[in-house]
């Protein structure tokens, strides 16, 4: 693609851009508000925003649009989709837009991990997507339950966590942890033992045979064997069962995404004191390592006028003002550092101690992708996430021993990743 034409906003040509997104209900209302603000600021640009279902149906719709040569200008998606669409030759390479001296952005104001996550080293270092919104894995805890048992606060290490669980089981006859099958929470646990990254791209294999992941699998198995935790696998409300368990005080802890803070707040409804903290670490005093995840803005290459208009809309969505508004209304975290300095966001954090705690942990979050400081080395296929979750479910329900689980992850992971990365890199 040609480099963008450096221009001023006043010189932008009129354009209509289509934005296919995954937000429904209150989140769609919040997105529509951002679109309205953008159109008021740039009246020469019309944004046709449309909810197109979740990530999978939206991806299917885009696949059909590629075949019909009738693509939208913008969507939100994850990195594996961006690679696939980039190799189909339909994406707008954002590299030159991002670094343009006139219409570019201050890259230093974004979380470094976010700029790296959206730089695809397997695709020549191009920016095939741009930071939009993030969340992190955190531990929700029942302050009243813990203080009632004499604990000063949430566990900071896994040894302390297991000790608290033992007391909760013995004194309250309760399990302390409702465990949802989720690859991101699985990765967060492994990273606390030094298991980052999960994938060795050069070897075309996982790292599941290494000590950090042996410790993580042992932890999950111990939680089940000792009665300290139970899985939510198979329940009718499996997607949100852990949230319900926490809100009804059946457990003291759940590990889940920070974006669930508003939902937990609604579920608890002031019936007890709670907050969020860092995922327990292996050693006392360690940095509060966790995982970061979230969709990115992905643009499709159309006309020069529409490309420029799309870029301006992406910039608007990533502006400190928009990021603060979206964070306050969606439960997500900003990807832009200066949002933390804004009076508006600071006032919001004062009203939400759980979100304030998540904001403090955010700088320590790692991407789930195999990464360097310069970019991602090649996002794994979604099928790898499915493998992780299938094995986690089998381990948590007692259908696999920890040894069997580790062996399956190593062997099936090598087969899956070997084929995938050989195709990705052509060798």
Per-residue DSSP letters for 138-179?
A: EEEEEHHHHHHTT-SSS-SBHHHHHHHHHHHHHHH---SEEE
Q: Which two tokens stand for residue 6?
A: 């450096």
Q: Residue 55: helix, strand or coil by DSSP?
A: helix
- For residue 352, which of 288, 246, 265 has the smallest C-alpha distance? 265
CB atoms within 10 A of CB 349: 19
CA atoms within 13 A on the CB side of 189: 26
Residue 427: the pLDDT is 72
State the chain's mean pLDDT as an integer: 95
pLDDT tops 90 at residue 4:
no
pLDDT tops 60 at residue 5:
no
Phi-psi region of 191 (alpha: psi -120 to 50; beta: other; left: phi over 0): alpha
- Largest Cα–Cα separation, the chain: 70
Residue 426: the pLDDT is 84
User: Burial, 427: exposed, middle or buried (Cβ in 10 Å; 0-12, 13-18, 19+)?
Assistant: exposed
- The angle at the Cα of 415, spanning 411 to 416, to the nearest 5 degrees, equals 115
pLDDT tens digits, one per residue of 17-75? 999 999 999 999 999 999 999 999 999 999 999 999 999 999 999 999 999 999 999 99
Report domain 136-291+373-425's class: alpha beta
Tell me the C-alpha distance between 118 and 415, whole Å: 26
Domains 9-134+294-341 and 136-291+373-425 share a fold: yes
Sequence spans of domains, the chain: 9-134+294-341, 136-291+373-425
Residue 3: the pLDDT is 56
pLDDT tops 60 at residue 141:
yes
User: Burial, 117: exposed, middle or buried (Cβ in 10 Å; 0-12, 13-18, 19+)?
Assistant: buried
Tell me the C-alpha distance between 14 and 11, whole Å: 9
Q: Which two tokens stand for residue 289?
A: 């390592």
Domain 9-134+294-341 sits in CATH at 3.40.190.10
What's the pLDDT band for 205 if we cut at 50, 70, 90?
Answer: very high
Q: Which two tokens stand for residue 316?
A: 């608007």
> For a pLDDT cut of 70, what percent of the chain falls above it?
97
Rounded to an integer, the average pLDDT of 327-353 is: 94
């Amino acid at each position: 693609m040609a480099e963008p034409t450096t221009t001023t906003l006043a010189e932008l040509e009129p354009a209509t851009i289509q934005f296919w997104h995954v937000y429904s209900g209150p989140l769609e209302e919040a997105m529509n508000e951002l679109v309205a603000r953008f159109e008021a600021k740039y009246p020469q640009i019309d944004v046709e925003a449309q909810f197109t279902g979740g990530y999978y149906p939206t991806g299917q719709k885009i696949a059909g649009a590629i075949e019909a040569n009738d693509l939208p200008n913008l969507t939100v998606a994850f990195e594996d989709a961006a690679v696939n669409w980039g190799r189909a030759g339909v994406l707008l390479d954002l590299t030159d837009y991002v670094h343009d001296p006139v219409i570019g952005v201050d890259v230093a104001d974004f979380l470094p991990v976010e700029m790296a996550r959206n730089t695809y080293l397997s695709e020549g270092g191009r920016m095939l997507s741009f930071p939009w919104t993030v969340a992190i894995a955190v531990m929700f805890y029942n302050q009243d339950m813990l203080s009632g048992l004499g604990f000063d606060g949430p566990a900071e290490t896994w040894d302390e966590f297991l000790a608290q669980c033992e007391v909760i089981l013995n004194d309250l006859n309760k399990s302390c942890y409702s465990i949802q099958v989720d690859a991101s929470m699985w990765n967060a646990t492994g990273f606390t033992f030094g298991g980052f990254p999960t994938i060795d791209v050069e070897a075309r294999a996982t790292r599941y045979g290494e000590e950090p992941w042996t410790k993580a699998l042992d932890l999950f198995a111990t939680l089940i064997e000792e009665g300290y935790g139970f899985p939510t696998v198979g329940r009718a409300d499996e997607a949100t069962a852990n949230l319900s368990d926490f809100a009804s005080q059946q457990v003291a802890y759940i590990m889940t995404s920070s974006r669930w803070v508003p939902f937990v707040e609604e579920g608890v409804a002031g019936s007890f004191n709670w907050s969020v903290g860092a995922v327990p670490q292996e050693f006392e005093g360690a940095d509060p390592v966790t995982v970061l995840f979230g969709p990115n803005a992905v643009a499709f290459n159309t006309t020069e006028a529409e490309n420029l208009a799309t870029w301006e809309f992406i910039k608007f969505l990533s502006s400190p003002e928009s990021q603060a508004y979206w964070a306050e209304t969606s439960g997500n975290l900003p990807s832009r550092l200066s949002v933390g300095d804004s009076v508006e966001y600071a006032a919001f954090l004062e009203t939400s101690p759980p979100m304030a705690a998540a904001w403090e942990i955010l700088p320590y979050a790692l991407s789930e992708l195999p990464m360097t400081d310069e970019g991602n080395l090649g996002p794994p296929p979604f099928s790898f996430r499915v493998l992780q979750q299938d094995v986690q479910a089998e381990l948590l329900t007692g259908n696999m021993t920890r040894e069997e689980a580790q062996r399956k992850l190593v062997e099936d992971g090598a087969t899956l990743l070997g084929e995938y990365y050989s195709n990705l890199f052509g060798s």
